């Protein structure tokens, strides 16, 4: 099983993000149903590990909070732009939840996340897109704002690689109270 922990986004926000998609030849746009904010990528696990992950996440206690999406940007790897994203405002509550998730998963023996937490929603994979088109897109959309989203739960997803895009299945939702 391939797993990750994320915040789901409401349909209205997904629709707003989907309106940004397009206009960059070579970009591989994420289907709107796959938009999410990853708190922790876990990767491949055995069935027994998936149960341990579920048990660890079920014990997390955090309060509901609001999430604000704003701006667009890019990630680079090896000097090439590989991802186009919508930013997420870092808040104390979001950082608290992400740290709780990371700590819970390390306690059951998962390796620590190597990348620093950079909250975002991926819009497109851009390895084959012209850098100047991506830079123009970022400049044209960098004032993007979405209304605040109430976050009342986080979700454990499984991911299956499909022909055109990965299929993300919400396995368990954990309430924030």
141 classed as catalytic:
no
Catalytic residue among 36, 94, 122, 151: 36
Question: Sheet containing 69-77: which strands, arranged edge to edge?
Answer: 28-29, 120-125, 80-88, 69-77
CA distances to 36, 38, 41, 57, 166 from 107, in Å: 25, 19, 16, 11, 28
119, 120, 124, 155: which one is catalytic? 120
Contact call for residues 155 and 59 (beta carbons, < 8 A)? no
Q: Give yes or no for a contact between 85 and 35, defined as CB atoms under 8 angstroms apart.
A: no
**48 C-beta neighbours (distance < 10 Å), count:** 8
User: Which positions are annotated as active-site residues?
Assistant: 36, 120
């Amino acid at each position: 099983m391939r797993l990750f922990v994320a915040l789901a986004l409401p349909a209205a926000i997904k629709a707003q993000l989907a309106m940004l998609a397009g206009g960059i030849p070579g970009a591989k746009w994420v289907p709107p149903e796959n938009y999410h904010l990853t708190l922790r990528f876990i990767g491949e696990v055995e069935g027994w590990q998936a149960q341990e992950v579920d048990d660890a996440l079920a014990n997390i206690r955090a309060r509901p909070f609001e999430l604000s999406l704003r701006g667009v940007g890019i990630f680079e790897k090896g000097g090439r732009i590989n991802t186009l994203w919508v930013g997420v405002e870092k808040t104390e509550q979001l950082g608290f939840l992400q740290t709780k998730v990371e700590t819970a998963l390390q306690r059951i023996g998962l390796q620590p996340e190597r990348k620093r937490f950079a909250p975002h929603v991926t819009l497109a994979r851009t390895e084959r897109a012209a850098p100047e088109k991506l830079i123009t897109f970022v400049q044209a959309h960098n004032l993007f704002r979405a209304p605040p989203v109430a976050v009342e739960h986080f979700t454990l997803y499984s991911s299956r690689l499909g022909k055109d895009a990965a299929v993300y299945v919400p396995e368990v939702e954990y309430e924030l109270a």
